[in-house]
């Protein structure tokens, strides 16, 4: 873990008063967050591709289910694009 990553981890808002949030524009639909979430609090949904130069019909985005989310923060650490943040519940 890099020093920068360790610093970010120390600043994470973790706990039941917090909930994860996905910045949709930064999510690449890689599915890493759903693998680490033990509480089944993340779903992927389909969105249409906006770029006319990429020949793929559907892209995936992650969505947090607020009720089952325990605020553990694991998904934030798993996301390769830093698309997930922890916010106040």
The residues that touch ligand SF4, with contacts defined as CB under 6 A, are: 20, 22, 27-33, 36-37, 39, 41-42, 62, 64, 69-75, 78-79, 81, 83-84
Least CB distance to ligand SF4 at residue 23 (A): 8
DSSP codes joined into one string, 42-79: EEEEEEE---TTS--SEEEEEEE-TTT-----HHHHH-
Greatest Cα pair distance in the chain: 43
Task: Identify which of residues 8 and 39 has a Cβ nearer to ligand SF4 in the complex.
Answer: 39
Least CB distance to ligand SF4 at residue 60 (A): 7
What is the sign of the dihedral through the CA atoms of 86, 81, 38 and 58? Answer: positive
Least CB distance to ligand SF4 at residue 1 (A): 17
């Amino acid at each position: 873990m890099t020093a920068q990553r360790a610093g970010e981890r120390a600043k994470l808002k973790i706990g039941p008063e917090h909930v994860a949030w996905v910045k949709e524009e930064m999510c690449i639909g890689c599915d890493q967050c759903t693998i680490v979430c033990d509480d089944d609090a993340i779903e992927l949904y389909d969105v249409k591709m906006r770029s006319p130069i990429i020949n793929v019909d559907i892209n995936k985005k992650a969505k947090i289910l607020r009720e089952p989310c325990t605020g553990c923060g694991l998904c934030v650490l798993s996301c390769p694009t830093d698309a997930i943040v922890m916010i106040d519940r």
